[in-house]
């Protein structure tokens, strides 16, 4: 089973930031990624719908024989909290590993959290941070336009649209004097430069994709499921909308082309229920 792939899913393309980090941390692992691009975004859907989509996404990955599932989606990790108990393989979302990293990073105990509306409204990051250390102060802000910016290639820190949107959302955080900021959506690291430029060097950004990759590696090691191959792992990508659009945008997230390893599936027919 150790040679089986790691399964990763997201509502769209943001989870590719986690894929990129996972490749760095575990270069010998095979990866199966599913981006539910036909039904993105999840962040403005009802709780019932998000849970149903997450169950379908995980079920599809299980049909590919994966040895672990990662929900590389802040919304799913925050809302579909019982998914872990429904799966026959190790599972992690992004909330726990990211919250731990933020608690360890803060120097003055003032942590900011940004994410989709569903993530922020769930209070998942805030609750986890305060569970780990009740003495900390947490500020939250939903940033729904960030996802649209990234998926439409508005990512340059010099772009005035990006700069104005960052300022509009993060001005309250800056005024509160946070020293640590959780990028609570896997899309957000793509515009981390613009966020860092606005907040300044005194604020540490916590990348949920990076922290989740490190946490997943630790889980696999503990369960003796690491792939012992000395060859580079293979990545296979599945999407529920057009393959061409995915190939074009995936380059932004991965920094490399994905070529012919992308397949289209119908989310209502191809997933195992």
Q: What residues are annotated to the active site?
A: 73, 185
Residue 165, token pair as written in the block: 């949107």
Integer angstrom CA distances of residue 2 from 69, 215, 216: 14, 17, 14
127 burial type by CB count under 10 A (0-12 exposed, 13-18 middle, 19+ buried): middle
Can you say how many angstroms the Cα of residue 54 is from the centroid of all Cα atoms in its chain? Answer: 13
Phi, psi of 158 (to 5 degrees): -90, -10
Query: Tokens 């613009």 belong to which residue?
Result: 194
CA distance 145 to 183: 14
Number of C-beta neighbours around residue 248 at 10 A = 13
In angstroms, what is the C-alpha Rg of the chain?
18
CA distance 88 to 92: 13
Task: Look up residue 91 and give its DSSP letter.
Answer: E
CA distance 208 to 22: 12
């Amino acid at each position: 089973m150790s040679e089986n792939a790691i399964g990763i899913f997201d509502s769209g393309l943001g989870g590719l930031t986690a894929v990129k980090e996972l490749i760095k941390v575990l270069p010998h692992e095979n990866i199966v990624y599913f981006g539910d691009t036909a039904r993105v975004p999840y962040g403005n859907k009802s709780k019932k719908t998000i849970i149903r989509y997450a169950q379908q996404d995980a079920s599809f990955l299980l049909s590919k024989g994966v040895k672990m599932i990662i929900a590389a989606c802040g919304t799913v990790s925050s809302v579909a909290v019982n998914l872990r108990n429904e799966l026959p393989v190790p599972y992690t979302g992004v909330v726990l590993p990211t919250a731990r990293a933020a608690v360890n990073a803060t120097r003055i105990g003032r942590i900011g959290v940004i994410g989709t509306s569903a993530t922020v409204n769930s209070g998942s990051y805030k609750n986890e941070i305060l569970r780990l250390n009740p003495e900390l102060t947490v500020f939250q802000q939903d940033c729904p336009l960030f996802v649209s910016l990234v998926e439409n290639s508005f990512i340059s820190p010099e772009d005035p649209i990006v700069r104005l949107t960052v300022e509009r959302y993060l001005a309250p955080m800056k005024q509160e004097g946070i020293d640590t900021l959780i990028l609570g959506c896997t899309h957000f690291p793509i515009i981390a430069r613009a966020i860092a430029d606005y907040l300044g060097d005194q604020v540490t950004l916590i990348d949920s994709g990076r922290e989740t990759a490190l946490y997943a590696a630790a889980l696999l090691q503990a369960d003796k499921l690491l792939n012992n191959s000395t060859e580079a792992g293979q990545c296979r990508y599945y999407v529920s909308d057009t393959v061409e659009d995915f190939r074009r945008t995936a380059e932004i997230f991965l920094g490399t082309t994905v070529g012919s390893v992308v397949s289209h599936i119908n989310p209502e027919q191809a997933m195992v229920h």
